[in-house]
Amino acid sequence: MRRAKLPPIPAGLTSDVKPDLTALAEDQIAWLGHACFAMRLGGKLVLTDPYLGEHAGPSGFGPKRFLPPAVTAEELPNLDLIVISHNHYDHIDTVALKAYRWRAETPVVCPLGVGPLLRKQGFAQVTELDWWDDYRTGDLTVTALPAVHFSGRGPFDRDKTLWSSMAIASPARKVWFGGDTGYGEVFREIGKRAGPFDLALVGIGAYEPRIIMEASHATPEEAVLIARDIGAKAAVGMHWGSIMLTPEDPFEAPERFRRAALEQQYGEDNAWIMQVGEVRGF
């Protein structure tokens, strides 16, 4: 698969203001880039899929990031929880994890089989979940949910560990974090059993060529279908604009996402495109 050349980077992709994650208020979320978000729910500061380095691959190999994250791993504050969706390199960045300063005291929730990799990075409190399992800490509940994807970090471990989407819920708000996923009927089941959601964080990039990517990454149009199926009031388009994993124009997804929301009567204003580093309430 030939990767297209990176087109000129549009202006305005990154916020002019660096986010202060410790200052996040309840029911606020910050996009740090790709699939990495910080949010405060149930009084807890939660981080998702911390890919904060330069390369999505082992030992400096793999696709290189063209837009830096909003904060570096060294700048991360003491988090109350890290939520991991699966073990791909652009979702588990071991260089970033090793640079995080509070590994011993920060709990991590991940799918089945991913725990050993995280413990190897120095995390002492790791909980592995099967689909539909819950993890509770204080007023916060994390539920591992199905996703249409796969796992693996090398040629010999394909699907040896589980992948998932995650519901992150406080008594007042519920967020669905998609990790990586293609489209499937399972999202209607998620909507019935775990929804509705106040906000969906759904991938809209890395979708070409369809004959290869259909089974693992949604198009922007399918991302809106997912948000509708799970009963999300609003959806943030993620997994775009930081790194080229597939050959399509990496900057076309936002317009397609908003147009699909309009055409599918989801509401263009409900399809959020955030700047890297932007903070919003929901």
C-alpha dihedral sign at 23, 88, 92, 41: positive
Indicate the average pLDDT of the chain.
96
Query: Domain span at residue 276?
Result: 27-281
pLDDT for position 11: 94
Does residue 1 lie within any of the structural domains?
A: no
Does residue 193 lie within any of the structural domains?
A: yes
pLDDT for position 4: 67
What whole-number distance in Å separates Cα of residue 34 and Cα of residue 40? 19
Does residue 2 lie within any of the structural domains?
A: no
CATH of residue 159's domain is 3.60.15.10
User: 118-141 pLDDT, tens per residue?
Assistant: 999 999 999 999 999 999 999 999
What whole-number distance in Å separates Cα of residue 60 and Cα of residue 74? 18
pLDDT for position 155: 86
Counting residues of the chain whose pLDDT is more than 90, the rounded percentage is 94
pLDDT for position 5: 85
Count how many domains the chain has. 1
Find the angle CA(73)-CA(19)-CA(222) to the nearest 5 degrees: 85
137 token code pair: 């800490």
Report, as ranges of residue numbers, the positions in the chain whose pLDDT lies below 70: 1-4
Q: Strands of 130-278 (E only): list them.
A: 134-137, 140-145, 165-169, 174-177, 197-203, 232-238, 271-272
User: 248-264 pLDDT, tens per residue?
Assistant: 999 999 999 999 999 99
- Give the global pTM: 0.96
pLDDT for position 15: 97
Does residue 62 lie within any of the structural domains?
A: yes
- 201 in Cβ contact with 147 (< 8 Å): no
Does residue 10 lie within any of the structural domains?
A: no
Does residue 14 lie within any of the structural domains?
A: no
pLDDT for position 86: 98
pLDDT for position 62: 86
Does residue 9 lie within any of the structural domains?
A: no
Does residue 17 lie within any of the structural domains?
A: no
